[in-house]
Structure 1
Amino acid sequence: MPHDPSQIGSGEAGGTTASLRKEGREAAGASRHDLIALFRNDLTHETITFSAPQDILLAEKPEEFVPALRQAEEFRRGGKWLAGYVSYEAGYLLDASLVPHLPEDRRAPLLCLGVFDGPSELPPQSSPQTTEPLLFDATPAWRLAEYEERFARLHHHIRMGDCYQGNLTFPVSARWQGDPLRLFERLMERQPVRYAAFIDLAGPVVLSRSPELFFEVSADGWIETLPMKGTMPRGKTTQEDAALKEALRNDPKNQAENRMIVDLLRNDISRISEVGTLDVPELFRVESYPTVHQMVSRIRARLLPGSTLLEILAALFPCGSVTGAPKISAMKILRSLEVAPRDVYCGAIGWVAPDGRMRFNVAIRTISLYPGGEAVFNVGGGVVFDSTAEAEYQECLLKARFTDADLT
């Protein structure tokens, strides 16, 4: 985003960041079990777990966001690891023209990062409960008629040239019971993904079953992003499934959607990368998951020396695959159409290592669990000029199948 990170939140933080540091139990509530952040590649069985945070950096107010990220950088340089999430609404703070659009009825912190000495060698333990972990009574906020009304307004903006693509989303409310970690494991069995995360630090307990990498940074300063845009259902037979996969690979509409986001991310990454290093090694690759095929492309570049998490987020966040293009215009339009803040959904969940390595997912297929058995997850998809409301709505419902909750 075209905004100098040195000016984000300037003059608003009250001069001290001490209030952003909270003891783990105080931040999350004394009744919870061990505070953890867990990241799992279900396909390779690689798991990184962090437990017993030394501190939790929590930004609930806009003026706390940048100081928290700066303090995170101080901890990293001091040899600490960080793990947690950045909510979608933090993106409104990263461009001056978006700040007035920041929703006030947010439920999740703008940022929540635990500070850890390092990954834990022991896997987390589920609570000894007999209650079966379930997600149930899932109810979409929009039925087809309500979606069609918002779709029509977004499509008008596209026809007028205000944006080329908009990622229109809506929440699904549900109920949950049992142990959150066991529920996370149950969802893993239903649909394995590469960038799963379980966060129980502060705010809601977050269960992310994301197949999409936002960005990964290597120790030698290379950044890679894998934007995912383009969806097709799995077939009922092997032959039908192969045909649907090939249809997605060669579909002009899905290719156009994917290329728009690739171009957007190339532009974003160019702001923080060395000249001549930006490359797109893969375009329109199709990945298969138990319920859907997804189109993925790959972008990589070498970061400017010394790039911090704040600078990376200022250039890239939110990921263009969950906003649309142009990003700023799409975010403003979507803010006028969507009924509630996205919170952690469409934000980023990940970790930062002392040597500069980082990995954050795009927080899609992500459930927030609240006290009292309340759960919220969102679904959405990219709308372009030749999209139709009914097809896009059905795609949203298809994406909700990552849960085992029947929509009511």
Structure 2
Amino acid sequence: MITFDFGPGERPAQFCDPQELIVAWQAADLPAALARADALRGEGAWIAGWLTYEAGLAFEPRLWSLIPDTGQPLAVLGAYAGPSEPVPLTTGKVRLSALTPAITQDDYRAAFARAQAYIAAGDCYQINLTFPLDARLIQGTPADLASALARLQPVGFGAFADMGVGPVVISRSPELFFRTQADGRIEARPMKGTAPRHPDPRRDAELAAGLAASEKNRAENLMIVDLLRNDISMLARVGSVRVPQLFAVESFATVHQMTSSITAQLTDPASISSLMPALFPCGSITGAPKIRAMQIIRELEPQPRGIYCGSLGWMAPDGASAFSVAIRTLSVSGTDIRLNVGGGIVADSTADSEWEEALWKARFMMPLTIPG
């Protein structure tokens, strides 16, 4: 079962009882898995599921050697008769242990220094550096946790997935990866640039205004806009790529985020097997240029990201679709919970401020945790 806040018509939707479950365990399995999904769409099925961040390595054969052996699938996609109205998740009481970084701040500083050295050497303009936080589910079920987080963190691109393969996924993502329409129009809305919320409305407004005016955050956001424009242009009609919104600030429960929008008209009908190899993973959670950034990320991050920074989404038989960027996303295995956080590193970033900004992004979990 998989539930989206962003189903068809931008309404909540749920997909249950798959006609077929498509699982890619290895890099070599992924193209066939996506092709099978499109073949089933051609027969009238809806496709819904998720891809891990490491699936992005599988789309580039020269990166196959970097794919970690995690024992988890790279992608899980279900073929369904269609969406239905979501059944409300349970509302049992939830308690978590305190979130604990899986690396020390000194470890982070060391990885940060190496990232900046690569930037100074000209390997990259920006590298997205992340790290995991771990907790345990002390009371309640994953469905209870998903319901509680939905109340705490209203977002546009939340999802809950218990597909029967891999971990249970709880996503409170505010970020659209891409959406397509049946007529071939595509839109992406990358987020890059973050500021914390403040309980004092005046101070909160100042923080939002400061983010909007920040040259550093604008520069980071523009790098990713350019990267996504380039990715989308490979699939788009010449001259159709547009940036109708640049550097808008959107406010959520615990953070302000800078968001831009890119639109285009696809040359060919939308398909999972054409869109994902061209666009995945999203540049906003990788860096630029993307392939080199992915290589550096695998070197600097000691543990795989899994579903974090991957994508959850759906595609209709007519090519309409919506896929999120899986940030603010938890992976639940038994009672073990993993939540990753991070941000984009550029030449003038500082390790301590980036560490602090990453931890801001976990604040939405705090009301459910027992202080440790």
1:190 counterpart (152, 171, 190): 152
- Answer whether contact 1:41 1:193 (CA < 8 A) is retained: no
Aligned partner (choices 262, 272, 279) of residue 309 of structure 1: 272
1:407 Cα deviation from its structure 2 partner: 7.5
Instruction: Tell me how far 1:365 sits from its aligned partner.
Output: 0.4
Please name the residue that 1:166 is paired with: 127
**Deviation string, structure 1 residues 102-146 (Cα, Å, up to 9, x no partner):** 112x2531010111101124525539xx6x223323210122211
Task: Count how many residue pairs are aligned between Structure 1 and Structure 2.
Answer: 367
Instruction: Report 1:179-218 matches (<5 A).
Output: 179-201=141-163, 202-218=165-181
Q: Tell me the TM-score normalised to structure 2 length.
A: 0.95
Deviation of 1:307 (Å): 3.7
Q: Does 1:391 align with 2:340?
A: no
| Structure 1 letter corresponding to 2:318 | D
Cα distance in 1 for partners of 2:296, 2:86 equals 46
For residues 97-108 of structure 1, the aligned pairs below 5 Å read: 97-104=62-69, 106-108=70-72
Structure 2: distance between partners of 1:70 and 1:378: 30
- One of 34, 37, 40 as aligned partner of 1:72: 37
1:95-174 equivalences under 5 Å are 95-104=60-69, 106-121=70-85, 123-124=87-88, 126=90, 132-174=93-135
Partner of 1:137, secondary structure, is: coil
Which amino acid letter does the alignment assign opposite residue 95 of structure 1? E
Q: Which amino acid aligns with 1:266?
A: R
Match of 1:33 in 2: none
Q: CA deviation at 1:93?
A: 1.3
| Identity between Structure 1 and Structure 2 (%) | 48
Counterpart amino acid of residue 150 in structure 1? A
Structure 1 residues 139, 204: closer, same or farther in 2, change over 3 A?
A: same
Aligned mates of 2:271, 2:11 — CA distance in 1 = 26
Corresponding residue SS for 2:302:
coil
What one-letter code is carried by the residue in structure 2 that aligns with 1:173?
D
Question: Are the equivalent residues in 2 in contact too, given 1:107–1:343 (CA < 8 A)?
Answer: no
- Would you say 1:281 and 2:244 are equivalent positions? yes
Matched, 1:381 2:339: no
CA contact (8 A) 1:138 1:406 kept: no
Q: Which amino acid aligns with 1:365?
A: R
Task: Say whether the 8 Å CA contact 2:96–2:136 is kept in structure 1.
Answer: yes
Q: Secondary structure in 1 aligned to 2:133?
A: strand
What is the alpha-carbon distance in structure 1 between the residues aligned to residue 71 and residue 144 of structure 2? 24
Selected match of 1:244 from 180, 184, 207 = 207
- Using a 3 Å threshold, how does the CA distance of structure 1 residues 125 and 246 change in structure 2: closer, same or farther? closer
Cα distance 1:110–1:101, how it changes in 2: closer, same or farther (>3 A)?
A: same
TM-score scaled to structure 1, two decimals? Answer: 0.87
Query: Counterpart of 2:14 in structure 1: which amino acid?
Result: T
Is 1:326 paired with 2:289? Answer: yes
Task: Answer yes or no: is the 8 Å Cα contact 2:235–2:268 preserved in 1.
Answer: no
Q: Counterpart in 1 of 2:57?
A: 92
In the alignment, the residues of structure 2 paired with residue 260 and residue 203 of structure 1 have an alpha-carbon distance, to the nearest angstrom, of 34
| Structure-1 separation of matches of 2:104 and 2:4 | 34
Q: In the aligned structure 2, how far is the partner of 1:392 from the partner of 1:97?
A: 30
Does the aligned pair in 1 maintain the 2:13–2:86 contact within 8 Å? no
Matched residue of 2:177: which SS? Answer: strand
Q: Tell me, yes or no, if the aligned pair for 1:57 and 1:114 is still in contact at 8 Å.
A: yes
Contact 2:243 2:262 in 1 (8 A): yes
**8 Å CA contact retained: 2:37, 2:47:** yes
Structure 2 unmatched ranges of 5 or more: none
Kindly report the root-mean-square deviation, in angstroms, between the aligned alpha carbons of the 2 structures: 1.7
2:218 aligns with one of 255, 266, 270: 255
In the alignment, the residues of structure 2 paired with residue 107 and residue 294 of structure 1 have an alpha-carbon distance, to the nearest angstrom, of: 34
Aligned equivalents of 1:238, 1:394: Cα separation in 2? 22
Q: Distance in 2 between matches of 1:45 and 1:249?
A: 27
